[in-house]
Amino acid sequence: MSAGATEFALVWCPCGGREEARRLAQALVAEKLAACVNIIGPVLSLFAWDGAIDESEEYGLLCKTSTRRMDAAMARLNALHSYETPVIVGWRADQTTPQTLAWLGDALGPKA
């Protein structure tokens, strides 16, 4: 990949409800921090919290972004999220198609 080329990244973040998921997805796409956000759910999450096992129905966000915008997307999710301790995980996607990279660069704009 040439220097300065767009590299694909993904960010995962569960949310407490469909409307919050939609609000967060809308913000990331509008601010060009993600080219697309899939809202997945509802899903049943079981997790450790305050020394107990808890469960909740959540909606997951799978955000398609670039490696250059991943940190900013994660920070924005953290700032907008309603959870006290939101789980936000990002990773580089090392395999994708040239068409996907072209779309990502077009959607995110210059210096994606």
**In this structure, CATH architecture of domain 8-108:** 2-Layer Sandwich (3.30)
pTM recorded for the entire structure: 0.91
Label residue 1 by pLDDT band (50, 70, 90): very low
pLDDT value at residue 2: 44
Question: What residue segments make up the domains of the chain, in order of their start?
Answer: 8-108
The 10s digit of each residue's pLDDT in 5-55 is 689 999 999 999 999 999 999 999 999 999 999 999 999 999 998 999 999
- Whole-angstrom Cα distance, residue 65 to residue 32? 9
pLDDT value at residue 5: 65
The 10s digit of each residue's pLDDT in 54-100 is 999 999 999 999 999 999 999 999 999 999 999 999 999 999 999 99
